[in-house]
Amino acid sequence: MNFHNEFTCLCALRGATTCENNSVLSITSAVEELLVELVSRNNLIPDQIISVTFSVTSDLDACFPASIARRKTGWEKIALLDCQQMFVKDDLSKCIRLLAYVSLPKEHLPQNPYLRKAKNLRPDR
C-alpha cells in the first residue's frame, strides 16, 4: 500500500505507559489503553499504520505487547515487533514504550501519548 502523496506524510509517533505488575492481565490492560490513545489522538485507521515497535523494561516478561496489538481488528497486516529496552539505572520500572510509523495528513500535528507513570518521561507532552 502506498499512503504517501502530496496530502500525507510518514510520521513516527512515540508513546509509553506503565503496568501495575508483571502479569498478562496488567500488560494487556496497559497496552490496550496505550493503543486506544494512540489511535484516538491521531484519528488513525489500521490502513494508516505501517509498523509498531514495542520495547519493555526487563521487569516485564509475562507476555509480548505485539501479540496484544495483533488481536485488534484490522491490525493483521501491520508489522509488529517486540524488544527489550536497554537497562539504565533508575529508569522507570514496568514501562512499555512504542514507536509507530504511520501515514498522517500533512496538516495533522502528531500526538504522542504518555500515560500513567510514563507521563513523567515526557512532561512536555
State how far the Cα of 85 lies from the Cα of 62, in Å rounded to an integer: 15
Instruction: Summarize pLDDT for 96-123 with one digit per residue, the tens.
Output: 999 999 999 988 889 999 999 998 886 6
Q: What pLDDT, on the 0 to 100 scale, is given for residue 1?
A: 46
Percent of the chain topping pLDDT 90: 77
Q: How far is CA 114 from CA 16, 25, 89, 98, in A?
A: 5, 20, 21, 10
User: Could you tell me which of 90, 89, 87 has the C-alpha nearest to residue 60?
Assistant: 87
Distance between CA atoms of residues 53 and 37, nearest Å: 16
In a domain, 35, yes or no: yes
Q: Is residue 41 part of a domain?
A: yes
22-52 residue pLDDT tens: 999 999 999 999 999 999 999 999 999 999 9
The domain in which residue 35 lies consists of 8-121
- Its pTM stands at 0.89
Q: What is the DSSP string of 14-61?
A: EEEEE-SSSSHHHHHHHHHHHHHHHHHHTT--GGGEEEEEEEE-TT--
Tell me whether residue 2 is in a domain: no
In a domain, 37, yes or no: yes
pLDDT of residue 125 exceeding 90, the answer is no
Q: Are 64 and 96 in contact (CB under 8 A)?
A: no
Is 67 part of any domain? yes
Q: Please give the pLDDT value at position 5.
A: 55
Angle at 19 (CA atoms; ends 14, 22), nearest 5 degrees = 125
**1 is a domain residue:** no
Grid cell for residue 11 = 510520521
* Structural domain count of the chain: 1
- What does the pLDDT look like over 52-99, one tens digit per residue? 999 999 999 999 999 999 999 999 999 999 999 998 888 899 999 999
* CATH at 114: 3.30.1330.40
Is residue 3 assigned to a domain? no
On whether residue 76 sits in a domain, the answer given is yes
